[in-house]
Amino acid sequence: MIHPGSVRRRRLTGLLLLGVLLAVAVLASVAIGTRSLAPATVLDALTHALGCDGGPFRCAAGSTAEEIVRELRLPRTALALVAGLALGIAGALIQGYTRNPLADAGLLGLNAGAGFLAALSIFLFGFTMPGQYIWFAFAGSAIAGVVVFGASSAGGGKASPLSLVLAGAAVTAFLQAMTNAVVVLDNAALDTYRFWVVGTVNGRDTDVFWQVLPFVLVGAAMALAAAPGLNLLGLGDDVARGLGVDVGRARAFGLSAVVLLSGAATAAVGPIAFLGLVVPHIARTITGPDNRWLIPYSGLLGALLLLVADIAGRVVARPGELQVGVMLAAIGAPFFIALVRRKKLVSL
C-alpha cells in the first residue's frame, strides 16, 4: 500500500521540477530569437529591468540587447506565461465539468464568442491593435459562456455535462457563421482578424499583459477553490448531491472561472488550439484524477508548453517565425494521438 505522505511528496517534487523547467524556458524565451543573446546578457538585462524604479517594462534600456529584452521578449514571455497558465487550468476545469476527455474552450463556444465580437469591433470601429479589441473579445467569450450555460439549463432543468456540450456546439456553429459573415464584408477587417485568430504572443505590448493579468489571477484562485467540489462532481451528480454539494451552484462557479481564464487568454493571444485539450491529459498521468493537484499541474504545464512552442516557432523559421498557434497545432496533433492511444488516458 502506498503511503499518502509519499504520494504528496512526489507531487510536490513534481511541482518544484515544473517550476525549475519553467524558469529555464523563461530564460530561453528571452534569449532566443532573430538575434540570440548570451545567458549572462539576458540575466544582466533582467536584473536591471527588475531593479528599475519604473518597473520592469517601463525604465529606459541601457543597451541594444537590453532594449530587445525589455521591449520585445520580456512582454511576450510574460504574456505566454499568463496565457498558458490560464488555458491549462481552463482545460482541466472544462474536462472535469463536462466529463468529456475531448473538451476544451472551443467546445463551450468561448473561442467563437471571442472571435465574433473581436471581428465585429474591428469591422465597426476599425481597430487594428490587440489592445483596442481585447475587451470586445473578452466580452464575447463571457457572453457566449453565459448563453451556453443558460441554454443548457433552459426549461427548469439543470446544466448537465451533456446539455453543456450540446449547447456549446450550437452556439459555436452560430457564432462562427456570424464571424464569417462579418469578415467577408470588409478586407481590412479580415486582414486584422486573421492575424488574431491564428494565435500568437508576438506584437502584444505590455498593456495587454496588465489588462488580462487580474482576470487570470482571479480565475486561477476560483479554480483552486472549486477543486474539492469538482472531485465530488466526478462521482456523479446524484452522489455529489447526496454528499451535500449544490450541483448547480458548484458547476456555475467553476464555469465562471473557465470564462475568466479562457476569455482573458483568448482575447489576448487568440484561440490557441490543443493546449487546453492536451495539457490536462499529461497532468492526469502524473497526478491522477484529484483536481486539487491536477489544476496546478495543468497551469504550470500549460505555461511551459506555450513557451516551448513559442521558442520553437522562432527557431524553425529563422530569421522569421511561426505563430505559436501554428506550432501547437503541429506539435499537439500527433502528440495527442499518441496520448489517446493509451487507454488509461481516454477516460476521466
Domains detected in the chain = 4-345 (1.10.3470.10)
First to last CA, the chain: 23
Alpha helices by DSSP H, listed for the chain, are 4-31, 39-50, 64-67, 74-98, 110-125, 130-152, 161-183, 187-197, 206-233, 237-242, 247-269, 275-287, 291-316, 324-340
Is residue 301 within 8 Å of residue 286, measured between CB atoms? no
Rounded CA separation 204/76 (Å): 7
Residue 155: its pLDDT value, please? 58
Is residue 144 within 8 Å of residue 171, measured between CB atoms? yes
Residue 346: its pLDDT value, please? 45
Q: Compute mean pLDDT per 10 residues along the chain, 348 residues long, and list them.
A: 72 92 91 78 72 57 72 88 95 88 81 90 84 87 87 67 82 91 81 83 86 94 93 84 84 89 90 87 88 94 94 84 86 73 54
Tens digits of per-residue pLDDT, 220-269?
999 999 999 998 888 887 888 888 888 888 888 988 999 899 989 998 99
Rounded CA separation 257/295 (Å): 12
Tens digits of per-residue pLDDT, 117-145?
988 888 888 887 877 888 898 999 989 98
